[in-house]
Structure 1
């Protein structure tokens, strides 16, 4: 289908589901990804979700942006339709970055833009940092399978309620439920649970909370269970103050040298990205701009008209 045909597509259009084979120290696994827009469009927007979410979180945003981009929304390994890792120690950002590199090689972008919510923003920043740290080995278009063309240019990046420094209170809150084995007797019970655990998403009507739950659980033997591998809580809970400090230092270095324009979105009540960290990010990188949303914590869902407009305007501005 041509780009023109996609521009006239129904707003209720559904994404295409595909898979890419990725490698870890324990073997191979498949990562699922949801794709919107013209598959021949080499202007790619990669949208990466938060810790316990899926690529379908970006449905509303993708329906709008598919007119301008090939929008790709992966289910990070261990979530959604993707495989689970044989070794849960692999549920860490370096493995996620490696998987994204494999996906990018499949997509063959001429321009790669990024929207990352929470963990998805950390993955994007770590990926950018790896490219910055190793300019001699920076992936050329040939590395993506496009022959001896120039380097793939990294386009604009959106960091949704995330930065190099993470607030301890927010991390502690997430730790209370990420490995929690909850089973629900009905879909409505699951909706109520997601609502109670995700108040930071901001105010939404009942239909939206149902939609936010639809891909966060699946039915198994008459019960509704979480879509992700609960073992991912093991490396999350094993972080020490020393490893957190080291990771923060590397992320700040990547942020300070980020070579592209960036938009930082923040919920004004966020317990992950503090107002002070946002201010510091803006001070340390002149290519960045920030925008806050009232009545929202961690994290904006990018479903409301004002949030979608903010992302679209930034990505498409001159």
Structure 2
């Protein structure tokens, strides 16, 4: 008998209990759907429902997100997330695995694939290459010490302010819908249901750690990221929304660091969340690509 929905599972990485939704069908080829920053694993439900018959679909909650634990320090690094993904794939013996990932999840997955190219069968990254060369150039103009003093200020702000509370579920839903007006009201409601927690006083708050607003500057260099990009050997598809703030690597020059196995698709009438904004077209492309 088919499962009605996914089961909630967990694994341990860096002494932290991390959650993932397992959609069953364990004898099928493994497929990880990885969400973006300040999102959650259940944002993939529509995609998972369509893919579960042909794949063993696993949707992790990144640390500090969804139903995964927060870091006690509130300190989150990209390489820490790469380690968590490596541990999930290692502990569940998933390689070679197919990965479809969004935004920050895409950035994590691209780096993992560059580190372990033999472990990834196919990769789809929705706007998952991180800051564009233009943004990187602007950041480089700022003195090194200023990057870190700004980060300290953001950390202090995150630690001193109260977690945002919404008086009603509808107020939180309105905020979700405001963040992405391409969503239908039903989509926004589903995403909000899994994104909030009910507080003891009856209010609602987002599940993600507010310290995620303060992103540390210690990261691998652009040169080293490009080196990892060149190590990717599996078929790779980058997907972008024409109405998004994210920079398309075909026009900003980053595609030259990838081999002939990588390609780009851009969707009109779509923003940063292409997998929500153009769901039917997105699913048709992904199914054909990862088949």
TM-score, with length taken from structure 1: 0.76
Per the alignment, do residues 164 and 223 of structure 1 end up closer, same or farther by CA in structure 2, a change over 3 Å counting? Answer: closer
User: Secondary structure at the residue paired with 1:305?
Assistant: helix
Distance (Å, rounded) in 2 between the aligned partners of 1:153 and 1:74: 17
Q: Which residue of 2 aligns with 1:67?
A: 53
Mapping of residues 164-243 of structure 1, within 5 Å? 165-166=131-132, 168=135, 181-199=163-181, 203-221=182-200, 222-234=202-214, 236=215, 238-239=216-217
8 Å contact from structure 1 (residues 78, 229) kept in 2: yes
Distance (Å, rounded) in 2 between the aligned partners of 1:219 and 1:165: 34
Q: Which residue of 2 aligns with 1:37?
A: 24
- TM superposition shift of 1:184: 0.6
Per the alignment, do residues 157 and 276 of structure 1 end up closer, same or farther by CA in structure 2, a change over 3 Å counting? Answer: closer
Q: Which residue of 2 aligns with 1:79?
A: 65
Distance (Å, rounded) in 2 between the aligned partners of 1:274 and 1:66: 30
8 Å contact from structure 1 (residues 165, 248) kept in 2: no
Per the alignment, do residues 80 and 273 of structure 1 end up closer, same or farther by CA in structure 2, a change over 3 Å counting? Answer: same
Per the alignment, do residues 67 and 220 of structure 1 end up closer, same or farther by CA in structure 2, a change over 3 Å counting? Answer: same
8 Å contact from structure 1 (residues 267, 294) kept in 2: yes
**More deviation, 223-232/122-131:** 122-131
- TM superposition shift of 1:66: 1.0
- TM superposition shift of 1:275: 5.7
Distance (Å, rounded) in 2 between the aligned partners of 1:300 and 1:286: 24
| Residue 5 (structure 2) aligned to one of 14, 31, 44 | 14
Per-residue Cα deviation, 1:78-101 (whole angstroms, up to 9, x for no partner) = 111111111222x11111111112
Per the alignment, do residues 71 and 275 of structure 1 end up closer, same or farther by CA in structure 2, a change over 3 Å counting? Answer: same
Q: Which residue of 1 aligns with 2:111?
A: 126
Q: Which residue of 1 aligns with 2:44?
A: 58
| Residue 249 (structure 1) aligned to one of 223, 227, 239 | 223
8 Å contact from structure 1 (residues 160, 264) kept in 2: yes
Q: Which residue of 1 aligns with 2:233?
A: 259
Q: Which residue of 1 aligns with 2:144?
A: none
- TM superposition shift of 1:60: 0.9
Distance (Å, rounded) in 2 between the aligned partners of 1:153 and 1:52: 27
User: Secondary structure at the residue paired with 2:9?
Assistant: strand
Aligned residues: 269
Q: Which residue of 1 aligns with 2:242?
A: 268
Distance (Å, rounded) in 1 between the aligned partners of 2:188 and 2:266: 22
Per the alignment, do residues 15 and 55 of structure 1 end up closer, same or farther by CA in structure 2, a change over 3 Å counting? Answer: same
TM-score, with length taken from structure 2: 0.83
**Gap regions ≥5 residues in structure 2:** 140-150
Q: Which residue of 2 aligns with 1:98?
A: 83
8 Å contact from structure 1 (residues 268, 294) kept in 2: yes
Q: Which residue of 2 aligns with 1:163?
A: 129
- TM superposition shift of 1:129: 2.3
- TM superposition shift of 1:262: 0.4
Distance (Å, rounded) in 2 between the aligned partners of 1:34 and 1:114: 15
Per the alignment, do residues 32 and 48 of structure 1 end up closer, same or farther by CA in structure 2, a change over 3 Å counting? Answer: same
- TM superposition shift of 1:277: 4.9
Q: Which residue of 1 aligns with 2:281?
A: 306
